[in-house]
Every structure is written in structure tokens, then in C-alpha cells.
Amino acid sequence: MRTARAFGLILMCVGISSGAPAGPIWEGVFSADQVSRGEVTYGEFCFHCHQWNLAGNGDMIPAIGGPEFIALINGVNLADLFAFITEFMPLDNPRSLRPQQVIDVLTYLLDFSGFPTGDQELSYNHEVLRLIQIEKEPGNVTRP
């Protein structure tokens, strides 16, 4: 629980908001190929801290996949999550990942957490990502 509060506080401090309009997160906004690339990048840069099961260590390193993670970031738009990963990860070498690597890892986290894949790759365009909001459950979602 301490981890979730700390991670949530960090998200608030860097300006991540939950006021973005709902986007098509449950309509398959990323491709399976992109998820595969994200898994490779995750294995290279992220698993040392967050583990292969994306559960973190239960203390200082938060889960970044699954229900606990989705509950933590529910309502956050993908642009803010992309910005957070870009700015602060990996912890031992922040800002070292290229935008394509970040977006690919983000799609891996989303896929692991149960969001569906689609036919198109997710762009790391800020305006596109800003319109896609994390929603715990499918709801009345409309395309922006």
C-alpha cells in the first residue's frame, strides 16, 4: 500500500492529471507486433526492478502491470504516462530510452494488464496519446 501511495504522489508531482477525455483504450489502440517489441525492451531495461511478472518488489518498486497498476493509473491519459516513463525511467538511467522504445514498453504494460490489441500501432504523438485515457473497465468510450 505504501508503494501505491508513493507512486501516486510522484504522478501528481510531475503533473499527471486524470481530467483528459475518455479515449478508445478498450478498442485496441496498439498492435501485437508493438507489444512484442515492448516485451524485448522491457526485458532489457525494466525487468531488473519491476520483475518479469511486472509486480515490482512489493515495497519501493511498484507493480506496473495487472489490476493493482490499472487501479493506480485509472483515469490517467497515455500522454502523461508516456511522459512519466520518458522522464523518470529507467531509474538508474532516466531519459535514456528513445520515444519508440517508451511507447513499445507502454503497449507491453497495457497488454499485460488486459487491454486488447488492434491492427494499428500506437503513435507516440502527444496529441494522440492525450486523447486516450486509462479506464479500468470497458465503458461508453467514443473515438476522439
Domain CATH number, residue 53: 1.10.760.10
Whether 83 maps to a domain, the answer reads yes
Q: Is residue 143 part of a domain?
A: no
Residue 66 lies in a domain: yes
Q: What is the rounded distance in angstroms from the CA atom of residue 59 to the CA atom of residue 97?
A: 25
| Integer Cα distance of 76 and 23 in angstroms | 11
CA distance 65 to 69: 5
The answer as to whether 30 is a domain residue is yes
| Model pLDDT, residue 28 | 94
CB < 8 Å & 24+ apart, contacts of 89-95? 89/45, 89/46, 90/45, 90/46, 90/49, 91/49
Range of the domain at 70: 2-130
Cβ proximity of 129 and 79 under 8 Å = yes
Residue 29 has a pLDDT of 95
Model pTM score: 0.81
Dihedral sign computed on CA atoms, order 14, 63, 44, 48: positive
What total of structural domains would you count in the chain? 1
Check residue 139 and give its pLDDT: 62
Q: What is the pLDDT along the chain (144 residues), one digit of tens a residue?
A: 444 444 544 444 444 444 433 357 999 999 999 999 999 999 999 999 999 999 998 778 999 999 989 998 999 999 999 999 999 999 999 999 999 999 999 999 999 999 999 999 999 999 999 999 999 887 644 433
Is 23 within a domain? yes
Residue 135 lies in a domain: no
